[in-house]
């Protein structure tokens, strides 16, 4: 038995050496083979890399074929998942940047309830043009004071009117006199947040003047209009809900 094993092992290694030599010869022949019409292989092509240690499974078989025992090949690992593509629908739902807020008037022009000692009856509106205040007279010698914007120089006026009509989110048709001064203005603008008349309008008799809201609250307390009385939208809504058609309006 010892002699058989001594004979078998050298013979097996010899056969393996011959087999590897024949394989290398065939590989060299295949590398130099020229197929008609295809030309020789490119000179820049690198030779086939030798299998890395462990690439053939490791152990005795790899030792026979490569002369290296190597390590067993680790199990294949799953490739990391590619990051999900951005969802355009979700991206479109991202909140927009906060809108720019118009500067508010100073505190003196904010709505206050104050004492009133004048002669006008409750429900009357008194507009103090020089000081940019509108007063709604209340019972018991009280009044609500609102800050307003008034006519710029050359457009001031005074007198007594009545509220002839009330409108929510009114449309605006510039009067002919204004169109002559500003031919760039539209002939009509539907009501809405961008309308110069704002959220509410109180029409003064048959005149072209109104008490109305504005989308420019920073103009409250200034001489800016063409004769109309401007109020902040929240203030004109409050006034609109308190007064009735036919109420007296005194502009001083």
Do 67 and 139 belong to one domain? no
Cα–Cα dist 52/69, whole Å: 11
Do 20 and 114 belong to one domain? no
Do 21 and 140 belong to one domain? no
pLDDT score for 80: 54
Do 126 and 243 belong to one domain? yes
Asked if residue 99 is part of any domain, the answer here is: no
Asked if residue 152 is part of any domain, the answer here is: yes
Do 113 and 17 belong to one domain? no
Q: Quick one: which H or E segment has residue 198?
A: none
Do 113 and 219 belong to one domain? yes
Q: For 101-110, what is each residue's pLDDT tens digit?
A: 456 678 899 9
Asked if residue 210 is part of any domain, the answer here is: yes
Q: Quick one: which H or E segment has residue 160?
A: strand 159-168
Asked if residue 190 is part of any domain, the answer here is: yes
Phi, psi of 230 (to 5 degrees): -95, 145
pLDDT score for 225: 93
Q: For 189-207, what is each residue's pLDDT tens digit?
A: 888 888 999 999 999 999 9
Do 59 and 14 belong to one domain? yes
Whether pTM > 0.85 for this model: the answer is no
Output the six-digit token pair for 24.
Answer: 């290398």
Paired strand residues for 79: none
Contacts of residue 198, Cβ cutoff 8 Å, sequence gap at least 6: 212, 213, 214, 215, 230, 231, 233, 236
Identify the active-site residue in 5, 112, 140, 212: 212
Closest CA relative to residue 195, chosen from 226, 168, 177, 165: 168
If phi > 0 it is left, if psi is from -120 to 50 it is alpha, else beta; for residue 37 that is: left
Identify the active-site residue in 5, 140, 188, 228: 228
Do 65 and 156 belong to one domain? no
Do 66 and 112 belong to one domain? no
Do 163 and 227 belong to one domain? yes
Q: Which residue has the tokens 């490119």?
A: 42
Asked if residue 43 is part of any domain, the answer here is: no
Q: For 165-191, what is each residue's pLDDT tens digit?
A: 999 999 988 878 888 888 888 888 888
228 is catalytic: yes
Asked if residue 145 is part of any domain, the answer here is: yes
Q: Could you give the C-alpha distances from 101 to 164, 197, 216, 232, in angstroms and in order? A: 33, 19, 10, 13
Cα–Cα dist 25/182, whole Å: 98
112 is catalytic: no
Q: How many domains does the chain have?
A: 2
Q: Could you give the C-alpha distances from 9 to 5, 17, 62, in angstroms and in order? A: 6, 12, 17
Do 123 and 67 belong to one domain? no
CA 90 to chain centre: 12
Max CA pair span of the chain: 140
Give residue 63's domain range: 1-27+52-74
Asked if residue 42 is part of any domain, the answer here is: no
| CB contact at 8 A, 251 and 161 | yes
Asked if residue 92 is part of any domain, the answer here is: no
Do 70 and 119 belong to one domain? no
Q: For 234-246, what is each residue's pLDDT tens digit?
A: 999 999 999 999 9
**Number of other CB atoms surrounding residue 5 within 10 Å:** 8
**CATH number for the domain including 190?**
2.40.440.10
């Amino acid at each position: 038995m010892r002699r058989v094993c001594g004979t078998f092992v050298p013979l097996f290694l010899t056969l393996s050496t011959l087999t590897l030599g024949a394989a290398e010869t065939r590989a060299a022949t295949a590398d130099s083979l020229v197929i008609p019409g295809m030309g020789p292989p490119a000179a820049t092509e690198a030779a086939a890399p030798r299998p890395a240690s462990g690439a053939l499974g490791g152990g005795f078989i790899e030792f026979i074929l490569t002369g290296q025992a190597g390590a067993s090949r680790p199990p294949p690992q799953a490739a990391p998942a590619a990051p999900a593509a951005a969802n355009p629908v979700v991206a479109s739902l991202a909140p927009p940047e906060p809108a720019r807020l118009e500067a508010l008037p100073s505190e003196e022009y904010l709505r206050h309830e104050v004492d009133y000692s004048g002669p006008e009856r409750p429900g009357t509106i008194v507009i103090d043009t020089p000081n940019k205040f509108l007063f709604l007279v209340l019972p018991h010698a009280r009044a609500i004071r609102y800050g307003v914007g008034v006519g710029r120089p050359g457009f001031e006026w005074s007198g007594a009117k009545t509220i002839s009509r009330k409108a929510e989110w009114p449309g605006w048709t510039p009067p002919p006199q204004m169109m002559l001064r500003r031919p760039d203005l539209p002939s009509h603008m539907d009501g809405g947040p961008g309308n110069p008349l704002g959220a509410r309008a109180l029409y003064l008799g048959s005149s072209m003047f109104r008490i109305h809201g504005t989308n420019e609250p920073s103009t409250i307390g200034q001489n800016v209009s063409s004769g109309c009385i401007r109020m902040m939208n929240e203030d004109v809504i409050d006034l609109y809900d308190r007064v009735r058609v036919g109420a007296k309006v005194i502009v001083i």
